[in-house]
A and B are shown apart, each in its own frame.
Chain A
Amino acid sequence: MTLAASIISNLITCAAEIGGVSLIANYLAGVPYLLAAVVLTALIILSIWVLPFKWIERVYGLLGLFMITFAAALVAIHPPWDRIAGGLTPQVPHGLSTKEMLTFAYFGVAIVSAVLFPYEVYFYSSGAIEEGWSRKDLLTNRVTSIAGMGLGSLLAISVLASSAQLFGPANVDPAVPGSAALQAAIPFGRWGLICALLGMFFAVAGAAVETCMANAYSIAQFFGWAWGRHKKPWEAPRFTITWILLFVIALAIVITGVDVMTLVDLAILFSILVLPLTYLPLLLLSGDRHYMGGQVNGRLAKTLGWVYFAIIVAAALAAIPLYLLTSGGNG
């Protein structure tokens, strides 16, 4: 059941990401949205086929660093840092109507969901197997995950804080990627906008690669097929056919004309529903001394792990009711 639910969730996420990069290509180059979807899916497939895995990581990962433009834009508009620091403590705004409170709760659930998608677990763990990580890689792995999550969180905070500063007073709802990118255009002009859009483009395209590959990893591992992107495509043929087909299915979803932001909402919704099923086995295994030996989670890690599990279970239980009550956050 977990596998089936994850595949559906990842497929919707991948479709949302293909829709996202197509929309950004439309902003950047004026390419018609559906044509961009077809061309970009073909280019992503080609890049996975042609490039060695390390280069796939470098191309999408390094170019995605254009996203730092958002952090620079926040600094450039001189926001009230004390109020941003105050926002690090979870708090519910005062004076909201019931409807506004539900919308606030929906976006709370969406942000919790966006912190960790199930595909990231499958992709990261499969990569660890492919690259033959051992105990000596633990420190590198810990630094990478802390730095990666830290940078991602910093960028998310930057986007939210800039939105509150620039769009809030004007009652503008930055609901599409293009309006969010304008945050960088306000302090830095045309090149700020281009850098922000490029950052979004490569970050989302990289995520599409990871989502699709994570699905293919899961399916191939379940059925016991040869798998891995460190192999040539013909050395793991059923795995190769699977990831190509998954891209084609995701593209087909986009071509139906479903709105990108609806896909994003559905991706977030399905991901948070699946996340507890993905996270619980890891939590149990990492606390099992027989399985983990000397690397077993200590008391602090276990406590934090269970607190996070409680948060995602609460978010998962609230997700569908909030989605229906708020029409996907549209009030």
Chain B
Amino acid sequence: MNPDSPMKLVSDLLDLPLLDQEGVYCGIVDDIELAGRPGRALQLKALLVGPGAYAGRLPRWAMAIVATLAGDSLTRVPMEKVRSINSAVHLDCPARDLGLQKAEAVARRLIPRRGAL
């Protein structure tokens, strides 16, 4: 499936994992951004990634807990950067170019890189 093919937004896109150009896992599709006007077809403009995207999907009390635990960052991935969509969303650029996985990189610095067999 390419980004122009028809798809069911909820079952075929939301929660799919994102893999960057190098095949690195960089999050899941948490929400989408649509563009359009009355009388015109809606267009999928971007994928939204990060706990900030839950604000519209969760009750306020739950969002407060999520923001405390995981922050409220939100990264916008323009559809022009999406190469293909199948069991994952494949991007055609490295995750760092879009600002994805910043928190993962911060957390990685806290973990000692030794001891595991």
Contacts and interface: CB of A to CB of B under 8 A. Distances in A.
Give the interface residue-count category, chain B: 20 to 34
Given A224-B17, A237-B110, A240-B111, A50 B104 contact: no
Interface string A209-245: 0000000000000011110000011100110110000
Interface of A is mostly: helix
A241 B62 contact: no
B117 interface: yes
B42 interface: no
Interface in B63-117: 65, 70, 103-104, 107-108, 110-113, 115-117
Contact of B107 (A49, A232, A241): A241
A88 B39 CA distance: 66
B68 to A, nearest CB: 13
Nearest to B16: A224
Given A49-B115, A50-B115, A224-B27, A234 B49 contact: no
Contact of B104 (A49, A51, A226): A226
Contacts of A240: 111
B62 to A, nearest CB: 7
A52 interface: yes
B40 to A, nearest CB: 31
Contacts, number: 45
Contacts of B17: 224
B51 interface: yes
Contact of B117 (A51, A237, A238, A241): A51
Contacts of A233: 111, 115-116
A84 interface: no
B51 A4 contact: no
B85 to A, nearest CB: 16
27 contacts: A4-B62, A49-B115, A49-B116, A50-B115, A50-B116, A51-B117, A55-B117, A224-B17, A224-B27, A224-B28, A224-B49, A224-B50, A225-B104, A226-B104, A232-B113, A232-B116, A233-B115, A233-B116, A234-B111, A234-B112, A234-B116, A237-B110, A237-B111, A238-B103, A238-B107, A241-B107, A241-B111
* Smallest CB-CB A-B distances: 6 pairs: A224-B28, A237-B107, A224-B27, A234-B111, A237-B108, A238-B107
